[in-house]
Amino acid sequence: MTQVSHQQWGQVPGLGSVDMWTLQSPQVRVEVLTLGAIIRSVSCRGQHGQMQDVVLGYDDLEGYVSDKRYLGALVGRVANRIVKGHFVVEGKEFQLDTNNGPNALHGGLHGFNKAVWLAAEVEGGVILSHTSPDGDQGYPGELQVSVSYTLQGETLTADYRARSTKTTPINLTNHSYFNLAGQGAADIYDHEVSISAQSYLPVDDTSIPTGEIRPVEDTPFDLRVPVPIGVRLKKVPGLGFDHNFCLCSPRDDWTERHAARVLHPPSGRVLEVSTSQPGVQFYTANVLDGSIRGKGGVAYGKHSAFCLETQNWPNAVNQASFPDCLLRPGDEYHHVTRFTFTTV
């Protein structure tokens, strides 16, 4: 049985009141903010029963208002990158603001992570909804979007839905940063990761996929068998993992699949992720540099967390061979992601 409660958490100038919703099952406790549909915390047990918060975040609302790293946030209208912020839909060109070098990232300068969402209780959780107006951040169509976070036992489910008045690209995900040793632990090098992907997307020097779908076999991106993250990071070019792993082929039917498993051997904590999305971005917090002070005043440094951002493939609106990311009037966007927290 999951207990659901909420309380006012603060005020955002110009946006209004922000509430914090708490979902409590016998095994897991989750805190959700109406700002950005943010997952503020997930507390779960280790193998000896000790509870730890395993999600990076902030002690106060101001941290989230000024946050530039999307800690815990729902990101959209389009998660990940769109090359040069440019795309063409139904013969019409659209230009978005660029906020990640030459590219558009995570919905723009004022994406869904900066909106205050409406919230209502549902069985075992909360449903948050938001209306993105036609032209918001440069995107076409009025978009009615919702996410429900429900907790059942050890499993937190995120159920995303949306409808649009015009054809628009859409790609929603949650951008929680996890450290199964407990948020504030120095790094994730002792975590073991596996990702159920036969292929991944190589990227250019601005992190845009090149268009190639490359098999993981005989590359550092072969995570089909569990490997220590610290050992594998030494073999990955660049700063670390920030790549889309392909969970299915571009035209495969909608179905929920196992995506990833991460184990922290010292505590025994396990996170398993399943999703109906065709990809997952595995990101190892490469650009955290100690300048962000998180919960308890902890400085979040490089490789202090990992993200498993279930998603469509990045820049899909500009790659005809990638899974279709367009939502058309009369259709419903619908995806499900489940995070299950257990121990070994």
Instruction: Give the long-range contacts of residues 144-147, CB within 8 A, separation 24 or more.
Output: 145/76, 145/77, 145/112, 145/172, 145/333, 147/37, 147/74, 147/172
Backbone angles phi, psi at 299, to 5 degrees: -85, 120
Instruction: Supply the pLDDT for residue 297.
Output: 97
CA distance 143 to 149: 20
> How does strand 326-327 pair with strand 257-264?
unpaired
Other C-beta atoms within 10 Å of 210: how many? 12
DSSP-derived letter for residue 64 is: H
Instruction: Supply the pLDDT for residue 279.
Output: 98
CA 292 to chain centre: 19
Q: Which residues pair with 118 in a beta bridge?
A: 129
Element containing residue 155 per DSSP (H, E): strand 155-164
Which ranges of the chain does DSSP label H, i.e. alpha helix? 61-66, 229-233
Instruction: Supply the pLDDT for residue 141.
Output: 98
242 assigned to a ligand binding site: yes
CA distance 254 to 276: 6
176 assigned to a ligand binding site: yes
- CATH number of 3-343, picked from 2.70.98.10, 2.60.120.260, 3.30.160.100, 2.40.110.10: 2.70.98.10
CA 304 to chain centre: 16
Among the listed residues 42, 2, 51, the one whose alpha carbon sits nearest the alpha carbon of residue 26: 2
Instruction: Supply the pLDDT for residue 303.
Output: 98
81 assigned to a ligand binding site: yes
Instruction: Supply the pLDDT for residue 53.
Output: 98
My answer on whether omega of the bond before 163 falls inside 30° of 0, hence cis, is: no
CA distance 195 to 235: 17
Structure token digits, residue 186: 């120095």
Known catalytic residues are 175, 309
Please give the model's pTM, rounded to 2 decimal places.
Answer: 0.98
Instruction: Supply the pLDDT for residue 254.
Output: 93
CB 138 within 8 A of CB 97: yes
Side by side, the strands of the sheet bearing 257-264 are 118-122, 125-132, 143-152, 155-164, 333-343, 269-275, 257-264, 192-195, 227-228
Instruction: Supply the pLDDT for residue 200.
Output: 98
Q: What are the average pLDDT values for consecutive 10-residue runs of the chain, which has 344 residues?
A: 97 94 98 98 96 98 96 98 98 96 96 97 98 98 98 98 98 98 98 98 96 98 98 96 97 95 98 98 97 97 98 98 98 98 98
Angle subtended at Cα 280 by Cα 103 and Cα 50, rounded to the nearest 5 degrees: 120
Among the listed residues 337, 181, 203, the one whose alpha carbon sits nearest the alpha carbon of residue 267: 181
Other C-beta atoms within 10 Å of 162: how many? 23
Q: Where are the domains of the chain?
A: 3-343
CA distance 326 to 46: 41
177 assigned to a ligand binding site: yes
Instruction: Supply the pLDDT for residue 96.
Output: 97
C-alpha Rg value of the chain to the nearest Å: 19
Structure token digits, residue 301: 């440094």
